[in-house]
Amino acid sequence: MSPPLHNSPPGVVVPEVSRQEFSPEERTLLLLLAHDSISSALQHRDLSLDPPTPHLAEPRGTFTSLYLLGELRGCVGYILPTTSVYRAVAETARAAAFDDNRFPAISKDEAPHLEIELSVLSAPQPIHVEDIEVGRHGLLVSQHGRRGLLLPQVAADHNWDRTTFLEQTCRKAHLPPDAWQKGATLEAFTAEIFSDKSF
């Protein structure tokens, strides 16, 4: 576990998933699994979800983002580590392809052209506003039974500052943009991120 963030009081710790935790071979295997999960659904065939190694059997929160011609085409994930990273990748890839209600389901013609990005998360932990690092932390904001999450790369891709990142995460939760100043619970996490572009 990483040490507490600078200036964080005792007990406020954001463990970081090492960028080197997954080997190139494991990354390739997980990306191929994500593609196969989508194609197997389109072909109505079964897919084995038994992790091939003990490491890939470890539970992790995982998000799968799909891109087509550079545009987001679906994104679904598990915030908490409720199942093995292997199964989580397969399940979130299929859900991103067919169950993200912001987009129509992926077609057989689109599937071969998808670019997949995987984000393997550390467990969310409470964080103070002044300790949030844009580009390093993802955010989870919750209040009144509503919850919104944005991955670390979202803020970096949009060149947001910390305040904008907080406001946009509140909006994702369907909360007022200043909810982070009015009692909303703030949690942060880090992610190991890799995609088809990595190879």
Extract the tokens encoding 83: 């199942």
Hunting for tokens 């991955």 — which residue is that?
151
Closest-CA residue to 169 (of 183, 157, 154): 154
pLDDT in tens, 145-175: 999 999 999 999 999 999 999 999 999 999 9
Cα Rg of the chain, angstroms: 17
What domains, with CATH codes, occur in the chain?
24-121 (3.30.700.20), 125-189 (3.30.1490.150)
- Cα torsion angle, 92, 64, 84, 10, sign: negative
Distance CA 199, CA 193 (A): 13
Query: Cβ atoms within 10 A of the Cβ of 132, count?
Result: 21
pLDDT bracket for residue 19 (50, 70, 90): low
Distance CA 58, CA 154 (A): 26
Predicted local distance difference test score (pLDDT) of residue 199: 59
Distance CA 85, CA 15 (A): 17
Distance CA 198, CA 173 (A): 31
Residues 6+ apart with CB under 8 A from 71: none
Distance CA 17, CA 1 (A): 9
pLDDT bracket for residue 197 (50, 70, 90): confident
- Cα torsion angle, 149, 71, 121, 105, sign: positive
Query: In angstroms, what CA-CA distances link 94 with 87, 89, 145?
Result: 11, 9, 27
pLDDT in tens, 54-101: 999 999 999 999 999 999 999 999 999 999 999 999 999 999 999 999
